[in-house]
Amino acid sequence: MLKLKKLHPQYVTNDAGEKTSVILPISEFEELLESIEDLAVVAEWREEPTIAHEELLAERKQGGLI
């Protein structure tokens, strides 16, 4: 996961010196998008019911996945 302190933003400012846009190296931008996507998945799964680890293993073994 990308550490926000490791970003190297450059700012576009208007005539008053107010920041209006951000420029990031493409690799940092892509990592940032990936982190946002990961967080969205976690948020979607947040309300999903949980099962015990042993139950999960039993289901996986029964299904031939492990």
pLDDT, tens only, 9-63: 999 999 999 999 999 999 999 999 999 999 999 999 998 999 999 999 999 999 8
CA–CA gap between residue 52 and residue 44 (Å, rounded)? 20
Radius of gyration of the chain (CA): 21
Could you tell me the pTM of the whole model? 0.61
Domain enclosing residue 19, as ranges: 4-62
pLDDT at residue 54, as a whole number:
95
Q: Name the domain count of the chain.
A: 1
Average pLDDT of the chain to the nearest whole number: 93
